[in-house]
Structures are given as C-alpha cells and as structure tokens.
Copies of this chain bind each other. A is one copy, B any other.
Amino acid sequence: MPAPATPAAVAAALAALEGVLGDRLVRTAADRDAHAASESHIRAGRPDAVAYPRTTAEVAAICAACHAQGVPVQGWGAGTSLEGHALAAAGGVTVDFRLMDAVLEVRPEDMLARVQPGVTRRRLETHLRATGLMFPVDPGADATLGGMAATRASGTTAVRYGTMRDNVRGLQVVLADGRVIRTGTGAPKTAAGYDLTALFVGSEGTLGLITELTLRLHGQPEAVATAVCAFPALDAAVAAVTEAIQTGIPMARIEFLDTESVRAVNAHAGLSLPLAPLLMVEFHGSPAGVGEQSARFAAIAAGHGAAGLERAERPEDRSRLWRARHDAYPAIRALRPGSEAVVTDVCVPIAALAAAVAETAADIAASGIPGPILGHVGDGNFHAILLYDAASAAEAAAVRGLIARMADRALRLGGTVTGEHGIGIGKRAWMAAEHGEGWALMGALKAALDPAGILNPGKLVP
C-alpha cells in the first residue's frame, strides 16, 4: 500500500477545495464508506473526502490543490470495476463524476458524440436511440463512459466494433498538476504525433482525470439476427468461431457459456437453453445480409458438430436472450446463495483458447469451488465466476490460487492477465511477469506525467 499524505497536508488540500466546491466536497462517514467499496471483492483504504465537481475547471482546481499538498486523487465512475481501480488505497480525495453527466453534443454526419465522463452507457444509448446511431461498447454493467475509457473496457460486441481503444476519438484530460489538455481531433484518423488518446485510455486514472470524451458512433444495424447453438465440447465451438472469423463472417457478438453457466442462466431467466457448451451469436447488417451470415455460420457450426442453430427471430426473444447473458453474474451467484463471488478474466490467443478454458475448468473442478466459465470467445477473452464462503480461510486461499494459476496460464499460453477488467490492485502482481522491462517503462511514463505520484496511487504502475 502506498503511504498516505500527512493529516496536515490533507487538511490544507480540503480547505482549499471547500473554497472551490462548497458543499460538493463531502466528508461524511457515509459518503466516504460508499466510496471505499465497489463491485470488486477488493477492499483497500477509504478517501478522506469525496468531491462532486461540475466542470473541468473544478477538476483542475482539485488536482492543483491536491498536487500542491501531495494528496492522492482518484476518479470514481459507477463503482462497477472489478479490480479495485477506484478505491482510495492511500486516502485523499475521490472525485465522483456523477454530476458531470451531460451528453454535450451529437454530430450525426461525423458519427461522433461528445460526452462528460459521468454519462453512463445506457444513458447514452437512450440519448442516441432516435438518431439512428449507437455507441457499441457494452461491458454489461451500466458503467460510466469515463470509467470505461479509463479501464479500456470492452464486452460482448468487441469482436465486431472493438474496445474503448477503438471507439474513443479524443479526450479532455486534467493532468496531475491541474493543467488541461485535449487529445485527438474531430477527424477520423491522424498521424500527428504520439497517440495521447491511446495513452490515457486504459491508464486507470494514474496519468490524468478524463473530463470529456469524444466517442465514435456507428450506424444502428438495419437488421439483427441472434442464434444459439450447442456444441459437444468447447474445442469444437472454438474451432467453429475461428473458421467463421477467417471466412470473414462479421459476427457482432459471439459468446461462450459453459454448461454450468447455462444451468444458472436457465434458472435465473426462465429459459430452457440446451445444457451443453453454448455459443450465442449475433449478426448485424441488412436483412438479406444477416440471413446469409447466419446460414453460413450454421453450416460452419454443423461442420464442427453443433446440434443446430436456434434463431431468436422476434426482437423480444433476442432481448431476453441477451438480457440473460448480461445477467449471468447474478444468475451464477444464485447457484450458491450467501457466497462471495470473484469475477476474474484473462485473454489468450484464439488458438490457445480451448486449452486455456479446459485447463482452467479442470483446475476449478479440482478445487471444489463452484466456478462457471463464460466469455467473449471471438476475442479469446473469458471469465470465471468463483463462488466461495468468505468466512472460510481455506476457500479464500483456494480462490486466490485459482486466480493466480489462471493468470499464469494465460501468460504461458502467450496471452494477457486481463482482457477487459484491467489491473487496478487485483492484477498488479502480474505486471512484471507480463511486461518485463516494459513495466519499468510504464513507471517512467508515470513519473514523467505525475512526478509527485498523487494520481490513483497503488494501482497499475511499479
């Protein structure tokens, strides 16, 4: 854990901030506690105060005041991150962006939206509905777009539309000392200098606080087709997906659920999906296009032993199916009532996916911990949801072992310790193993941009 600032320094910074924010600087125990726990199983520290800025200028004032006193600053979106990113590991000021929630501008011709960081994914979706455009990145949770950019979020549609890396065109960022920069332009691409946008996307609040995002929009598909098919085993499902990708079938989503996940989802959502390794696939395009795509996919799936493709023709059936997929987390939690759940992810080369999942499943089975596996099979990214008794030190240790072996396995197979959940606190122990000398380089970048180390201490960097 990093060392917190001295009480005198914190008091001086908060006094300065009260002058800027008035009653939007909150020091109540309730508010501090609310920002000491997120959807993550990780607990680490508690902020000294929570700030609710309305403008970039106020965020700049927060950073300047904290910088002057060496007081930690961390951003807070919707509290949905899974690796403890937004926790105040060394106290200080947590900047909650909920009041910066305006959709500032939608430019249909340029297919861009400019939003404040506290706008949630669903709010933007609602805002865009009538425009014929959409923002495709969908991590499941109703996260804020600022948080999604900070953690380089992705989700079910990344196989077609990419992650936040691909869908953030530009940012406004407040640096550690309060300076404000803009990255990117309104043009679809640029070759003008270092890719600062990509540097901040995924930097987890350690290099600056995002106060505005310019997002790339896509046309809403004219037609959507969803289908489910059951495979005899995971490797057959992976082989079908690989062939479909190589053939160029543009799948908009392609999700894997293991048999245990299917059982949970069926029970929770009142569905009767076949109890087997499943693929849920979606196609976006013209009516003729999606018809052709699903027919071609069905042929490939059949070639790999799939029991047939069940299409969800009606929009309500489609919504129900994807709602069930997105609700897999509570569904799986319900498999063991009263248990604590850890959701952990890794991402591997497609050719290694079947092995990675099979070895992980065997490891989980041997541990006795319930742990269904599901994920974004087109990206090589999968999740295990581990259900354990938090009161049992043995079970907690078993879970730590499973997470560690899953991360080590991903590295051994040429992958990464996280495809979309990020590093935060939970995966920091693997950064040296994954990046080698590159982790030191990340530390050098951090030192160059935040020499006092006030931005989100205890996360990501050495």
Contact = CB atoms under 8 A, between A and B. Distances in A.
B348 A442 contact: no
Contacts of A445: 194, 199, 445, 448-449
A110 B187 contact: no
Q: Which one of A110, A163, A187 has the greatest number of beta carbons of chain B within 10 Å?
A: A187
A1 to B, nearest CB: 20
A456 interface: no
Interface stretch (A43-51, A386-394, A415-423): A415-423
Nearest to A195: B198
Contact of A442 (B187, B193, B207, B285): B193
Interface stretch (A10-18, A19-27, A118-126, A215-223): A215-223
A406 to B, nearest CB: 14
A34 interface: no
B194 A203 contact: yes
A173 to B, nearest CB: 9
A381 B192 CA distance: 13
A7 interface: no
A261 to B, nearest CB: 21
Contacts of A163: 189
A180 B440 CA distance: 12
A415 B188 CA distance: 9
A166 interface: yes
A296 B292 contact: no
Nearest to A152: B191
Given A191-B418, A288-B288, A292-B289, A242 B109 contact: yes
Nearest to A413: B186
B186 A109 contact: no
A284 interface: yes
Interface in A228-285: 242, 245-248, 250, 284-285
Contacts of A218: 248
Q: How many copies does the complex hold?
A: 2
Given A444-B448, A449-B444, A109 B187 contact: no
Interface in A396-444: 410, 414-423, 427, 430-431, 434-439, 441-442, 444
A305 interface: no
Contacts of A211: none
A185 interface: yes
Contacts of A154: 189, 191
A416 B410 CA distance: 39
Contacts of A187: 347-349, 379-381, 410, 414-416, 419
Contacts of A352: 186
B191 A422 contact: yes
A195 B246 contact: no
Contacts of A183: 435, 438
A195 B199 contact: yes
B110 A350 contact: yes
Contacts of A435: 181-183, 192-193, 196
Contact of A109 (B179, B350, B437): B350
A189 B349 contact: no
A149 to B, nearest CB: 12
A34 B201 CA distance: 40
A346 to B, nearest CB: 8
Contacts of A198: 165, 195, 198-199
A311 to B, nearest CB: 19
Contact of A179 (B175, B292, B430, B437): B437
A202 B196 contact: no
Interface string A150-190: 01111000100011011000000001000111110111111
B108 A246 contact: yes
A99 interface: no
Given A185-B416, A198-B199, 14 more contacts: A154-B189, A166-B166, A179-B437, A181-B441, A183-B435, A187-B419, A190-B347, A192-B427, A192-B435, A194-B445, A194-B460, A195-B199, A196-B442, A221-B248
